[in-house]
Amino acid sequence: MSRWVEAHFYPEQPPSPGARLLRSPLALGAGVFGAGVLLRNWLYDTGFFRTMRVEGLRVVSVGNLGTGGAGKTPVVAFLAERLRRAGIRVAVLSRGYGRRGSAVERVLGPPWPSFERVGDEPLLLARRVPGLDVWVGGDRVDLARRARAAGATVALLDDGFQHRRLGREVDLLVLDEAAGLGTGHLLPWGPLREPPSALARASLLWLRVAEQPAPPPPLPGGVPVVRARHAPSELVGPDGATCPLSALAGRRVVGFCGIARPSSFDQTLAALGAEVVFVRAFSDHHAFRASELAELRATSTGAGAELVTTEKDAVRLPEGFPAWVVRLGVSVLSGEPELARVLGV
């Protein structure tokens, strides 16, 4: 299903006339969705809907225009690490997409809660950045107040571009150069949650550069741009040990992932020099069933291959499941002065 969605939102070739006809009802849905988006933004822009601020807390929103796959979570981790190195008390505020509970959760472990309680991305961030305070809940104004009461002076609002109720000093918008804006259409016709004109609302554009040269997405004038590379930084072996990226070179692998754009994981495995038997793609944030994991193990054993997955997927695996994990790192290529200015460090 995830590959079908990716092919629909980010097609490599223009759809055939027949496919366009079959998708025409989605255009009507996009029109209705777009009208709601425009109305909501107008109500905030005119002050009819109020934004709320928390005294003493600087809020940096990190978001995107699309439904996922731009690389937002590695950016949040990168910013959190940078702020913590500067001695700043930083918290992440997240709705915990995909979790089963609704109670406010504070992820500050170990011991770690289950991903079902808090969501996979908050758990990943808390585990990736030691000492990071991650708050999960539906009311992010409430989370901001809790974070400030706990001592935070900066909050990273995860996936916050469309969440305008909590006021922010910085709106950082992540774009993937390779994917661009996909079809450029709004949901459900395309991947966008807001029209491209919303790019102008950003105070900083974070452009994830493509490994292969690609035409950049249209960028509004006057908005500073940070160009950054997102690439594998290290591997974690099935025994939990950290390994160099060369550890999978020449090995037969069976990949599996539940992310928004599985083709990016295909490219990652190929870049590591692995001999890819196949990659099974699940839907984004997929909760793996025991039967699915047993099937993956049987397939990899039969093929004489190693199982490999992403760091985001790894937090949804049972403890001890024998899979290699690919960790992504971020390196800023240009725009460092602009980034330092908006972060204050």
Q: How confident is the model at residue 68 (pLDDT cuts 50, 70, 90)?
A: confident
Q: Where in the chain is the domain with CATH 3.40.50?
A: 58-223, 231-329
Amino acid present at 212 = Q
Count helices and strands (H / E) in the chain: 10, 13
What is the pTM for the complete model shown?
0.94
Which tens digits make up the pLDDT trace of 80-111? 999 999 999 999 999 999 898 889 999 987 89
Instruction: Over range 19-36, report the average pLDDT.
Output: 86
- Asked whether residue 18 carries a pLDDT value surpassing 70, the answer given is no
Beta-carbon neighbour count of residue 238 at 10 Å? 14
CATH of 58-223, one of 3.10.50, 3.40.50, 3.10.400, 2.60.40: 3.40.50
- Asked whether residue 21 carries a pLDDT value surpassing 80, the answer given is no
Query: Is domain 231-329 classified as CATH 3.40.50?
Result: yes
Residue 53, strand partner residues = none
- Asked whether residue 257 carries a pLDDT value surpassing 70, the answer given is yes
- Asked whether residue 233 carries a pLDDT value surpassing 90, the answer given is yes
Per-residue confidence (pLDDT) for residue 221, from 0 to 100 = 74
Which tens digits make up the pLDDT trace of 273-307? 999 999 999 999 999 999 999 999 999 999 999 99
